[in-house]
Amino acid sequence: MERTFAIIKPDAVARRLAGRILQRIEDEGLVIRAMHMRHLTRREAEGFYAVHRERPFFGSLTAYMASGPCIALALEAPAAIATWRAVMGATDPAKAEAGTIRREFGESIERNATHGSDGPETATFELGYFFPGIDFAR
């Protein structure tokens, strides 16, 4: 089994899409191992997206992620990372395939409804950032 990290972003939570996205996660065979809603501080968002600190979108991204509650998820399945990324679709909703979450619910590259780890190392960092001390092996 593989684990990955996902976020239902503030735009999707505000538009009351969380239930539909959670249903889609389960329908795709991903198991929710942990979940919590939280409103990130700007500092927490900056820590989470620290790899993008030098990018021009860092300020707007972290302000947006601190703008309202989000839902953090630990997902598990064989090939969980690839599965979740395929279900989400491309970062830009306009370029995402039909039937993907971002195509259906995304409003822009930044307000694209969901986030997902892009690889095993990133998943390990992100799961630890949002779920410190949780042993997912049990």
Q: What token pair was written down for 109?
A: 């590259």
Active site positions, annotated: 115
Question: What pLDDT does residue 137 have?
Answer: 64
Q: Mean pLDDT for the chain?
A: 95
Is the pLDDT at 16 greater than 80? The verdict is yes
Is the pLDDT at 14 greater than 80? The verdict is yes
- CATH fold of 2-130 reads Alpha-Beta Plaits (3.30.70)
